[in-house]
């Protein structure tokens, strides 16, 4: 095997996000439900026999040491593999949106290189590397919707009904650290249980980061107001600036404001690479 092309890296939506406390080390404790959606980046991997690891940006320019490169280097180091790779990244999922784009790219990179380099590592082995790269990476390696707890490392697979969603992303993004560090962030939401969520998965709870996000990024409030004007209950996903709302089959959307990207997405039954370990 010399190359693997057109590897998908799907985004996620946080159906809710509750902050339930804060550890002594500063990390926040949370509860959330992560849902995979069909908004995907596309990655391409070409084998290098010289051990080098390189990257080509096929859409917009990424940071010099993005999560894909970091994932490849971490796996190479941990496995002792002498092979390398050239990675092509065609981004579609926006940055600082709360949709896990970079983490998903890293997870798909680990899964693809596990095959390209013939490592035969297990999901648990890859997840141990993934957690060092970002809290969301193990979720994308899990390969299915999940109930998420702790600092994001405790994952319980869940089933969700098929859903269709409008996702609105303003030009402005949100820095995760700024949101979590804000003094007005509420950090004491009571613990929820999966059965309570399952009774109303697309209307359960709230995003505790949203009030702070609206203060830091007025475009979040503008996005919410756009949905409200159409009678659609919307909320922010994750710690980014994207806002989403469930859609009925016959919902007709208004034209989005010119400085915002609107996309209609569907939930996925499973990650396209599920079973690659």
Task: Tell me which residues are annotated as active site.
Answer: 12, 136
Let me know if 50 is exposed, middle or buried by CB neighbors in 10 A (0-12, 13-18, 19+): exposed
Query: Is the CB of residue 78 less than 8 Å from the CB of residue 129?
Result: yes
Nearest to 211 by CA among 188, 191, 186, 190: 186
Over the range 169-197, which residues count as b (16 or more CB within 10 Å of their CB) and which as e?
Answer: bbebbbebeebbeeeebeeebeebeeeeb
Is residue 209 helix, strand or coil? coil
Nearest to 16 by CA among 147, 185, 106, 133: 147
Query: Is the CB of residue 251 less than 8 Å from the CB of residue 239?
Result: no
| CA–CA separation, 103 and 106 (whole Å) | 5
| CA–CA separation, 105 and 78 (whole Å) | 19
Nearest to 154 by CA among 177, 176, 171, 131: 131
In the numeric block, the tokens 């400085």 are attached to: 259
| CA–CA separation, 87 and 173 (whole Å) | 25
């Amino acid at each position: 095997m010399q190359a693997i092309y057109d590897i998908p890296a799907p985004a996620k939506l946080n159906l809710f996000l509750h902050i339930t406390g804060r550890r002594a080390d500063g990390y926040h404790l949370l509860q959330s439900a992560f849902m995979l959606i069909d908004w995907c980046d596309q990655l391409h991997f070409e084998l290098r026999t010289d051990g080098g690891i390189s990257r080509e940006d096929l859409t917009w320019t990424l940071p010099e040491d993005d999560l894909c490169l970091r994932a490849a280097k971490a796996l190479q180091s941990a496995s002792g593999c002498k092979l390398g790779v050239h990675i092509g990244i065609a981004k579609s999922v926006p940055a600082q949106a709360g949709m896990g784009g970079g983490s998903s790219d890293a997870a798909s990179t680990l899964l693809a290189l596990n095959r390209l380099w013939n490592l035969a590592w297990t999901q648990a082995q890859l997840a141990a590397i993934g957690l060092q790269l970002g809290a969301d990476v193990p979720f994308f390696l899990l390969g299915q919707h999940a109930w998420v707890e702790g600092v994001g490392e405790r994952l319980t697979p869940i089933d969700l009904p098929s859903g269709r969603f409008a996702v609105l992303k303003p030009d402005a993004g949100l820095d995760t650290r700024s949101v979590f560090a804000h003094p007005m962030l509420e950090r004491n939401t009571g613990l929820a249980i999966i059965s309570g969520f399952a009774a109303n998965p697309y209307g359960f709870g709230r995003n505790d980061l949203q009030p702070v996000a609206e203060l830091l990024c007025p475009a979040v409030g503008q996005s919410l107001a756009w949905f409200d004007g159409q009678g659609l209950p919307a909320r922010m996903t994750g710690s980014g600036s994207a806002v989403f709302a469930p859609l009925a089959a016959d919902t007709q959307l208004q034209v989005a404001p010119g400085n915002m990207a609107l996309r209609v997405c569907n939930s996925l039954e499973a990650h396209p690479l599920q079973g690659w370990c």
